């Protein structure tokens, strides 16, 4: 197994913000390297890689252009042996380890399932490539994977025709990488930038063709979906070129992501970083996310609430927002974003951000619900256009599920290099006003639009006014973060 060391992004507020994160004390569980019982974030230790159940050596050389031979592409050669090892190692608490073998460093596979009590471990130097064949992902009885399916405008491109590349379907499971002394990690490549097999269109081009969001949606696979599993872990793994969402938490109680790196360019639509959807007790920390949509999108569909979620010490590039929503129908509560950095303007590849947002809460009446106990603390933004975006009219919803942004706190926010920056602070209507507390907020662009909002303010340099807006000065504490330096991209 490759030797591992821990590297943290450089940032002046690193230790302070980590302390703030663990002090939150939400219920979160780490199951590898600590006791299996539920623990609180304040007690959480960094995960550790478990012992190996089975080691699988690579049999393919890494291709220069991400493309393999036609025979290999038609029938990914590593699917059966990886899945057989995962089936055999279920329940052991150990890892199926993908290893370098001489000059061979690549694996090519169709979708895989990770079940209870096991880890898929990708060694440093190894790349696990996803199949380009839509037929490999097809969900029986659902729209054809790799095509445009019908949309009623409420699913926002979530798609049902494709199974994810990696499906986590058991408790105490994980996806991990080893990390070398140089900081390199194991890599999973979804190849969303490559033509789907038998076509001249990439997954990303298919997503772009569904841009209207109203009548068509792309039937693309997510890279990783955790299906209701509890106590799942991702650690020191790098993800790139996802065809759609990188990591979707579809329910579940207890999830930890630590040291995860995600890279999708801004022109890759709907490639959210992490989407905790109706999930509870979630910790995402010490990670780096460059992607073509929301860096984080905490959601709650009608099936249940999203609650007790912390996102800390994480840097974002080119994202559409550090977001709550847009689906909030199941209710969202107790969400803390702390010690995070947002690099707006362009992604790490120099692509201009198509939607350049900072801290964000969004929903509309098609899938709205109550949002309460959401806080953004100790946040730094640079080059961001929409510095604060609290928007209950995200789309032209015409339903009866009214968004209610009842209790949102922004405490410790500084923006720099925001030459055209502005903020939006809005409630849905007079009966559903925004409940907002602003403390220690210093923005370098103070333009603000507000309506239907009850705002408490301390040591903040914006002056919201508008229809149905009341502002009350209160006594607060803390300070504005310095934001004197921003972490650099650590690489994959």
Rounded CA-CA distance 225/277 in Å is 11
Tens-digit pLDDT profile for residues 274-319? 999 999 999 999 999 999 999 999 999 988 999 999 999 999 999 9
Q: Are residues 79 and 136 in the same domain?
A: yes
Residue 326 and residue 197 share a domain: no
Give the pairing of strands 112-114 and 52-57: unpaired
φ, ψ dihedrals at 23, nearest 5°: -70, -20
The answer to whether residue 347 is domain-embedded is yes
- Domain contains 375: yes
Whether 384 and 285 map to the same domain: the answer is yes
Identify which of 82, 83, 67 has the alpha carbon closest to the alpha carbon of residue 133.
Answer: 67
Same domain, 86 and 177: yes
Average pLDDT of span 203-219: 82
φ/ψ of residue 69, rounded to 5: -65, 160
Give residue 328's domain range.
Answer: 1-15+268-492
396 versus 93: which is more confidently predicted? Answer: 93
Q: Does residue 25 contact residue 40 with C-beta atoms inside 8 Å? A: yes
Say what the pLDDT of residue 101 is: 98
Is 42's pLDDT higher than 90?
Answer: no
What's the chain's length in residues?
492
Same domain, 59 and 208: yes
Asked if the structure places residue 42 within a domain, the reply is no
Task: Indicate the number of domains in the chain.
Answer: 2
Residue 106 vs residues 168, 178, 342, 343: alpha-carbon distances, Å: 22, 15, 33, 32
Q: Domain for residue 21, yes or no?
A: no
pLDDT of 412 higher than 60:
yes
pTM over 0.75? The answer is yes
Count of other CB atoms within 10 angstroms of residue 205:
18
Query: Which has the minimum average pLDDT: 213-217, 385-389, 411-415?
Result: 213-217
Secondary structure (3-state) at 84: helix
Percent of the residues in the chain that have a pLDDT greater than 70, as a whole number: 89
Which has the higher per-residue pLDDT, 396 or 107?
107
> Do 287 and 420 share a domain, yes or no?
yes
Going by C-alpha positions, the residue among 89, 139, 81 that lies closest to residue 114 is 89
Catalytic site positions: 293, 320
CATH number at residue 219: 2.160.20.10
Asked, as a colleague might, if the bond just before 326 is cis with ω within 30 of 0, I would say yes
Q: Does residue 37 lie within any of the structural domains?
A: no
């Amino acid at each position: 197994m490759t030797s591992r060391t821990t590297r943290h992004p450089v940032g002046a507020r690193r230790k302070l913000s980590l302390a703030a994160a663990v002090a939150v004390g939400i219920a979160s569980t780490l199951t590898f390297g600590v006791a299996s019982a539920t623990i609180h974030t304040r007690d959480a230790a960094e995960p550790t890689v478990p012992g190996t159940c089975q080691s699988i050596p690579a049999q393919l050389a890494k291709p220069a252009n991400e493309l393999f031979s036609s025979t290999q592409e038609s029938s990914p050669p590593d699917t059966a042996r990886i899945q057989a090892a995962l089936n055999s190692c279920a329940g052991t608490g150990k890892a199926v380890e993908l290893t370098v073998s001489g000059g061979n460093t690549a694996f090519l596979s169709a979708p895989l399932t990770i079940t209870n009590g096991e880890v898929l471990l990708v060694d440093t130097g190894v790349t696990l490539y996803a199949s380009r064949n839509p037929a490999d992902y097809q969900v029986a009885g659902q729209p054809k994977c790799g095509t445009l399916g019908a949309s009623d405008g409420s699913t926002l491109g979530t798609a049902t025709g494709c199974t994810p590349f990696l499906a986590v379907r058991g408790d105490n499971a994980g996806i991990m990488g080893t990390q070398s002394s140089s900081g390199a990690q194991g890599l999973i490549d979804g190849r969303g930038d490559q033509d789907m097999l038998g076509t001249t269109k990439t997954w990303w081009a298919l997503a772009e063709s569904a841009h209207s969001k109203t009548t068509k949606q792309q039937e693309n696979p997510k890279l990783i979906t955790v299906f209701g599993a509890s106590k799942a872990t991702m650690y020191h793994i790098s993800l790139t070129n996802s065809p759609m969402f990188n990591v979707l938490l579809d329910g579940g109680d207890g999830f930890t992501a630590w040291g995860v790196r995600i890279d999708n360019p801004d022109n890759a639509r709907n490639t959210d970083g992490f989407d905790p959807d109706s999930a509870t007790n979630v910790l995402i920390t010490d990670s780096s996310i460059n992607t073509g949509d929301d860096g984080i999108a905490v959601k709650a569909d009608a099936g249940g609430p999203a609650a007790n979620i912390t996102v800390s010490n994480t840097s974002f590039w080119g994202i559409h927002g550090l977001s709550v929503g847009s689906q909030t129908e199941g209710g969202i509560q107790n969400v803390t974003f702390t010690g995070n950095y947002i690099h707006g303007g362009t992604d790490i590849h120099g692509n201009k951000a198509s939607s350049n947002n900072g801290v964000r809460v969004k929903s509309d009446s098609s899938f709205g619900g109550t949002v309460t106990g959401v806080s953004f603390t100790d946040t730094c933004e640079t080059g961001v256009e929409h510095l604060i975006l609290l928007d209950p009219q995200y789309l032209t919803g015409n339903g009866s599920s009214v968004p209610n942004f009842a209790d949102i706190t922004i405490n410790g926010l500084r923006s720099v290099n925001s030459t055209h920056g502005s903020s939006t602070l809005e409630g849905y209507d007079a009966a559903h006003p925004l409940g907002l507390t602003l403390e220690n907020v210093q923005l370098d662009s103070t333009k603000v639009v507000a309506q239907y909002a009850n705002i408490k303010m301390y040591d903040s340099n914006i002056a919201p006014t508008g229809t149905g807006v009341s502002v009350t000065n209160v006594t607060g504490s803390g300070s504005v973060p310095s934001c004197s330096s921003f972490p650099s991209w650590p690489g994959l």
